[in-house]
Structure 1
Amino acid sequence: MVLRLSQKLNARIKGGTLSAAPPHENSLLDWSAQAFAVGRAEYVLLSNTRTLYSVVLAGMGLRDTARLPERALGVIRATLEGTGHGANDRHHPTPAVESVRLAKALDRSVTGSMNELIVHATALLVDGGVSLAEVGVRLNDVLLSALAVGSNKYGRPRDAFAERVAAAGSDEQTGTP
C-alpha cells in the first residue's frame, strides 16, 4: 500500500525526505493523507488517491512514522467494513502495516480536491454532534469536479470507489491484472 503524505503531515510525524512513488498497481491500495485542525483538535483526512473516497482520523498522538500507517489502516478497514466493502472482499485494502510505503503527494489535483474535502469536514466538525465516521460518510457524497465522468461535470467519491471495486472484481474474473 502507498500512503502519500502532505508536507504538513510529513513534518508533523518527522517522516524525513519522502520520495515520489508511481501510482500503486491496485488503485484501491493508493491513499493520500493531509493533516488539518478544527479549533485545537487535530485530524487527518485519508483519501483514496484515485477516487477521493475519504475517511477522517483523529490526529491526537500521531507524532511519528510508526503510528500513522497502523492507525490509518485501522480506520480505513473499519470504514470499508461499515460500508459493505468488508474484509471478505478480496479487494479490501488490508495489507500488513509493514507493507505500507510512505511517499510524497502525487499531484495538485488530488491535493486541491482534498483541500475542498477538508473545508467540508471542518464545517461538519465545527457544528459538533457529528462523529468522525459520519463526517466520512458525508464527505463521500460531496460532488467533486476531479471525478467528472462523461457528460457529468461532477462525481461523488462513493460512486467512484464503488466503480473501482467493481472493476477490480471484473478484472480478476477476466484474468486482467
Structure 2
Amino acid sequence: MIFRLSHKLSTKIKSGKLKEMPLEENPLADWSSHLFVVDHTQYIIMSNTESMYSCVMYGDDINHDSQFIQRAFSTIREFMEEDGLLSIYEEFIISSSGTVSFAKALNRQVTGSMNELVMTATTALESEEIAPHDLGFELNNLLLSAIATKADRGYGRPKEAFRKLVDQKRND
C-alpha cells in the first residue's frame, strides 16, 4: 500500500523524507493524501491516485505516521462501506495493507486534481453544514479532466473511474 503525502501532511505526521515511487502494482492500493485547513480545523483528503475516488477525515488529532495509517484505513473502510463498496475494500485494499510506504505525489496531474478537490471541499465546508465523511460523496461526483477516457468526452467522475479500475483489476 502506498500513501502519497503532500509536504504539509508529511511534516505533520513526521513521516520522514518522501521518495518517488511508481504507481502501485495494485492501483486500488495507491492513495494520495493532502492536509488542508478550513476555519482553523484541519482535514485530510485521501484520493485513490488513479481514479481520484476520495474521502475526507479530520486531521487535528493525527500527529504521527502510525496514527495516520490507522485512521486512514478506518476512514477509507467506513466510507467505502457506506458507499456500498465494502467487498472491494476487503478484496483489494486491506489485502495490500501489510506493508505501507509513504511517497511523493505521482505527478502534476494528480496534484492538480487534488488541489481542485481541496478547493471544492473547502467551499463546501465553509458554506454548508456537512460532515467530512459526507463530503466524499459530493467529491466523487465531480467532473475531473485528469481521469477522463476517450468515451468520457474530456471529463470523468471519480466514482465511475474507481468502478472501472475495480472491473479492470478483477479481469487481470
TM-score, normalised via structure 1 length: 0.91
Q: Specify whether residues 14 and 111 from structure 1 end up closer, same or farther in structure 2 by C-alpha distance, changes over 3 A only.
A: same
Separation in 2, partners of 1:112, 1:67:
27
Structure 1, unaligned stretches of length 5 or more?
Answer: 172-177
Q: Structure 1 residue 156 and structure 2 residue 157: aligned?
A: yes
Aligned to 2:117: 117
Q: Secondary structure at the match of 2:47?
A: strand
Q: Structure 1 residue 106 and structure 2 residue 103: aligned?
A: no
Deviations 1:80-114 (A, max 9, x none): 11112114765341147552111111111101100
Which residue identity does 1:28 align to in structure 2? L
Residues 90-101 of structure 1 aligned to structure 2 (within 5 Å): 91-95=91-95, 99-101=99-101
TM-score, normalised via structure 2 length: 0.93
Residues 7-46 of structure 1 aligned to structure 2 (within 5 Å): 7-46=7-46
Separation in 2, partners of 1:109, 1:8:
19
Runs of 4+ with >4 A deviation: 95-98
**Contact 2:88/2:166 (<8 A) preserved:** no
Q: Specify whether residues 168 and 149 from structure 1 end up closer, same or farther in structure 2 by C-alpha distance, changes over 3 A only.
A: same
Separation in 2, partners of 1:141, 1:9:
25
Q: Specify whether residues 62 and 97 from structure 1 end up closer, same or farther in structure 2 by C-alpha distance, changes over 3 A only.
A: farther
Separation in 2, partners of 1:10, 1:113:
19
Deviations 1:55-91 (A, max 9, x none): 0010011111111111011101111111121147653
Structure 2, unaligned stretches of length 5 or more?
Answer: none
The Cα RMSD (Å) is 1.6
Aligned sequence identity (%): 39
Shift in Å, 1:153: 0.8
Which residue identity does 1:58 align to in structure 2? Y
Structure with the bigger percentage of helix: 2
Separation in 2, partners of 1:65, 1:98:
15
Aligned to 2:71: 71
Aligned to 1:84: 84
**Contact 1:69/1:97 (<8 A) preserved:** no
Residues 137-156 of structure 1 aligned to structure 2 (within 5 Å): 137-151=137-151, 152-156=153-157
